[in-house]
Amino acid sequence: MALHQRNIFTVGQIGDGREAAAARYVVANARRGDPDDVIATIDRFAYEESFLINVGDEKGALLDAAVVRAQPRLALELGTYCGYGALRIARAAPAARVFSIELASANAEIARTIWAHAGLADRITCVVGTIGDGGRTLDTLARLGFDTGTLDFMFIDHDKSAYLADLHSVLDRGWLRSADASIDRGCGAIVVADNVKLPGAPDYLAYMRAEQGVRWNTVEHKTHGEYQTLLRDVMLESELLSG
């Protein structure tokens, strides 16, 4: 599909059939129990069949590297979509429990189908909800084992206008492990944020720049939008220095 044929960041996340078609494509074409092949098959679908708004292969490699650096035991993703990001996190951190928050129940079911086909359904849990729902979803995570200093990695890839507020909501719970409390782990919790330039999360970017070297240590990765090389994007990789 040519990039000019649609505005890639204004198409809906659910409802036009692309996501369900991607799941069917994975089940039909990817080797069962092989996360590498499932990820490659999703990428192939996005390039050759229909555009998807998951993080994609180029930025996915940056995500993988950040996960390896964090060596998480517990990871959280905001924005499941089709399950691609959580799948990459689980693959890069074989010892981690991965939780993913998704507003749309239809997307959650699609993601669970893909995770099951990849053989990772036992390590990835999708919670249907949103961080900004008055605490209900956060309380659910607490019941699932989230506690002070237990969260090692977070990937933010949902509503761009909610990035900063949702980060603060997680920080307020005290779940993210800080570097000053992580001498044995080598680094503090790492938070990766996608699409900071395209379509953009300017308040989140301004916050991380203002807190550079104080509360956070952030690397700004210059990259491209999903599944193309024309439009520029930025992905932030931020280590929590102090809680």
Q: What is the set of active-site residues?
A: 157, 160, 194-195, 226
Alpha carbons within 13 angstroms on the beta-carbon side of residue 171 total 16
Partner residues linked to 193 by β-bridges: 156, 236
- Looking at 52-163, which runs of residues are DSSP E strands? 74-78, 97-102, 124-128, 153-156
* Spatial contact of 52 and 42, defined as CB atoms under 8 Å apart: yes
Strands 232-240 and 153-156 come out as unpaired
Judge residue 189's burial from the number of C-beta atoms within 10 Å of its C-beta, 0-12 exposed, 13-18 middle, 19 or more buried. buried
**C-alpha angle with apex 76: 27 to 58, nearest 5 degrees?**
60
Strands 74-78 and 97-102 come out as parallel
Listed in sequence order, the residues at least 6 apart from 106 whose beta carbon sits closer than 8 Å to its beta carbon are 14, 15, 19, 20
**C-alpha angle with apex 196: 129 to 216, nearest 5 degrees?**
90
Residue 199: asked if its preceding bond is cis (omega within 30°), the reply is yes
